[in-house]
Amino acid sequence: MWADLHIHTEYSCDSEAKIEEYVKQATAINLQMLCFTDHVDFNKNDYGYNHYNPEKFFEGYHRVKASCKNRIRLFAGIEFSEPHLYAEKLNQLSSDYPYDYIIGSIHWIGNLFPCQEVQNRFSAKEFYTLYWKEVLNTVKQGGFDALGHIDFPKRYYGEIYYTEAMMNEIFKYLLDKDMILEVNTSSLRKGNSRPMPGDELLKIYKANGGQYVTIGSDAHEVKDLGANIHIAKTLAEAFDLQEVVYESRKRIPVTY
Ligand SMILES: [Zn+2]
Ligand SMILES: [Zn+2]
């Protein structure tokens, strides 16, 4: 069974891809489970600030799902940016709409995004130090199912900096709240040799009692659906982590 649980569609500010096109592609490449996770952003610096409309998403989603029968299993999700800063909005969305799965991601640290200009101003170590504090705050708050692309700055800096003590603390809060890690393969399309996270953080996650991961391509275009998810699957297996999907906010095995 193959699942891709991180997919952006035309309901995200930065994608024009249609749900039905993803479903067609899933059939062509033999993917059985898809979760659409459009961006929900409330940072005013973000291009997608306040762009997401759950009514429009669910209208499109239910239309395709009805025509899809049980051929391919579709799930509804969101990728919610900086959950700890907009906890009320997240609570509202997750109680008002029947999401299966919520990814919590840190994209911004205040007005800093790891673009080229920020990379010129901050060394990788400096930026990651700020970034991990924000990740810690978000796992302390919770309210989501999986932490998205945990070493996100790697996609831009091309390298990772962390301390084991900080990672232990992050994983302790993450697991205490029954949340898990996502393995996101988009870094592989940006020239990185490993997904997010790679071996070093998965090892610490496992040592802290982590048992499960979700796997997602972070596709914004149909051609990227399922890209390199076999690499993430092999990596998860190497650390004896079970791949899961979420339905109605509950974990189910991918073999389900
Ligand atoms: Zn993201
Ligand atoms: Zn994403």
pLDDT along the chain (256 residues), means of 10: 97 96 96 97 93 97 87 95 98 98 97 94 97 98 98 95 98 98 97 96 98 98 98 97 98 83
1 neighbors 206 (Cβ within 8 angstroms): no
Instruction: Report CA(79)–ligand 1 centroid distance (Å).
Output: 7
CB 142 within 8 Å of CB 179: yes
Round to whole Å and give the CA distance between 132 and 162.
Answer: 8
From the CA of 203, how far away is ligand 2's center (Å)? 23
* Structure-block tokens of residue 95: 């109680």
Strand partners for 215: 183
Q: Where are the alpha helices (DSSP H) in the chain?
A: 19-29, 54-68, 87-96, 116-121, 124-141, 154-157, 164-176, 199-207, 229-238
The type of residue at 191 is G
**Judging by DSSP bridges, how do beta strands 212-216 and 33-40 pair with one another?**
unpaired
Residue 108 CA, ligand 2 centroid: distance in Å: 13
Q: How far is the C-alpha of 202 from the C-alpha of 210, rounded, in Å?
A: 9
Backbone angles phi, psi at 109, to 5 degrees: -115, 100
Domains in the chain: ranges and CATH: 3-253 (3.20.20.140)
Under a CB-based contact definition with an 8 Å cutoff, are residues 58 and 66 in contact?
Answer: no
Residues around ion ligand 2, judged by CB within 5 A, are 79, 218
Rounded to the nearest angstrom, the distance between the alpha carbon of 139 and the centre of ligand 2 is 18
Q: How far is the CA of 15 from the centre of ligand 2 (A)?
A: 10
Task: Find the 212 Cα to ligand 1 centroid distance in Å.
Answer: 20
Ligand number nearest CA of 107 is 1
Q: How far is the CA of 6 from the centre of ligand 2 (A)?
A: 6
Cα-to-centroid distance, 38 and ligand 2 (Å):
7
Q: How far apart are the CA of 130 and the centre of ligand 2, in A? A: 21
Distance 132 CA to ligand 1 centre (A): 15
User: To which residue do tokens 């708050």 refer?
Assistant: 141
Q: 41: which 2 tokens?
A: 């952003």
List b or e across 220-250, with b for residues whose CB sees 16 or more CB atoms inside 10 angstroms. Answer: bebebbbbbbebbbebbeeeebebbbbbeee
Q: How far apart are CA 14 and CA 22, in angstroms?
A: 16
Q: Helices (H), strands (E): how many in the chain? A: 9, 9
The whole-number pLDDT of residue 70 equals: 67
How many angstroms separate the alpha carbon of residue 121 from the centre of ligand 1?
A: 22
Strand order across the 180-184 sheet: 3-7, 33-40, 73-81, 101-105, 146-147, 180-184, 212-216, 242-247, 250-253
Question: In this structure, what token pair is assigned to residue 18?
Answer: 């249609």
